[in-house]
Amino acid sequence: MIELRDVRKAFGRQQVLDGLDLTVEAGSSYAVMGPSGSGKSVLLKHVIGLLKPDSGRVLVAGHSVPELHREELRDLRRDMGYLFQHGALINWLSVFDNIALPLRETTAMGEEEVRGRVEKVLGQVQLSGTDDKYPSEISGGMQKRVGLARALVTEPSVILYDEPEAGLDPGMSQAISELMRQIQTELEMTSLVVTHSDRCARIVADRLGIFEKGRFLVEGTPAEVLDSDHPRVREFLGPKRS
């Protein structure tokens, strides 16, 4: 379970998180939508302990993230996956080695088992056969999928996605969303997804929150929120689709 209570965070004079509350039930999937530059990535970085709140509580699986020591945080993160907005692949490692990296570095897994796991996730993100390519040789969308594969390969129980569908064409975006949903339900992962796409939110999420000015404006099931008549929500999402 992910729980944030009254979290505040400012950079200089800019109040990015302003009394934010969020609950993601264990094994469920929560999507966050909001204007760009509003602090959605900052929110994810608090959950994985890259940023500390100025005040408020951040809990993941019962651990207070900002208070964890280095080693404890490391242990917690072994059970978490994070997909970066731009993939953040290690540029001098091949696709295969990028995905194998967390297994080789933080587990005692043999090379045989590593290969099996990597091939499996590569298949899931529809990238079989690109093992030997380097990040600079593949498209942005493919980099994103490799990033997704790297986040999934350790089979974490909590996973955070920063705009997983950005830069993908609509077909691929739908496929990735369905894949995220399938893996999330199969492995009973707790997932928090920042997205710009209402289609992605509908496929992926059990609950959806619209984020604005440092806190959530409305929350509910994706259908409730996306079809709501709340004026600020309509302003952000545009007119209802029939």
Ligand X SMILES: Nc1ncnc2c1ncn2[C@@H]1O[C@H](COP(=O)(O)OP(=O)(O)O)[C@@H](O)[C@H]1O
In the list 39, 53, 102, 164, the residue contacting other proteins (rule: CB under 8 A) is: 102
Distance CA 219, CA 23 (A): 11
- Beta pairing, strands 190-194 & 215-220: unpaired
Distance CA 83, CA 160 (A): 6
In the list 10, 11, 139, 155, the residue contacting ligand X (rule: CB under 6 A) is: 11
From the list 109, 204, 117, 201, the residue with the least C-alpha distance to 153 is: 117
84 near other proteins, rule: CB under 8 A: yes
Q: Is 220 exposed, middle or buried (0-12, 13-18, 19+ CB in 10 A)?
A: middle
170 binds, among Mg ion, other proteins, ligand X, none (CB under 5 to 8 A by kind): none
Residues 6+ apart with CB under 8 A from 64: 57, 58
β-strand partners of 197: none
16 binds, among other proteins, ligand X, Mg ion, none (CB under 5 to 8 A by kind): ligand X
How far, rounded to the nearest angstrom, does the alpha carbon of residue 8 sit from its chain's CA centroid?
A: 21
Which residues in the 31-90 window bind ligand X by CB under 6 A?
36-42
In the list 15, 18, 21, 50, the residue contacting other proteins (rule: CB under 8 A) is: 50
161 binds, among ligand X, Mg ion, other proteins, none (CB under 5 to 8 A by kind): none
Candidates 7-15, 71-79, 181-189, 229-237 — which segment interacts with other proteins by CB under 8 A? 71-79
- Least distance from ligand X to the Cβ atom of residue 18, Å: 12
In the list 38, 85, 124, 228, the residue contacting other proteins (rule: CB under 8 A) is: 85
**What x/- string results for residues 17 through 46 when contact with Mg ion is judged by CB under 5 A?**
------------------------x-----
Q: For 79-132, where are the alpha helices, taking DSSP H only?
A: 95-106, 111-124
Looking at the Cβ atoms of 19 and 35, the one nearer to Mg ion is 35
239 near ligand X, rule: CB under 6 A: no
From the list 200, 221, 215, the residue with the least C-alpha distance to 232 is: 215
Amino acid identity of residue 68, one-letter, is L
Residues 6+ apart with CB under 8 A from 124: 149, 152, 179, 183
62 binds, among other proteins, Mg ion, ligand X, none (CB under 5 to 8 A by kind): none
- Least distance from ligand X to the Cβ atom of residue 88, Å: 14
Q: Residues interacting with ligand X, by CB under 6 A?
A: 11, 16, 36-42
Q: Residues interacting with other proteins, by CB under 8 A?
A: 48, 50, 74-75, 77-78, 80, 82, 84-86, 88-91, 101-102, 105-106, 150
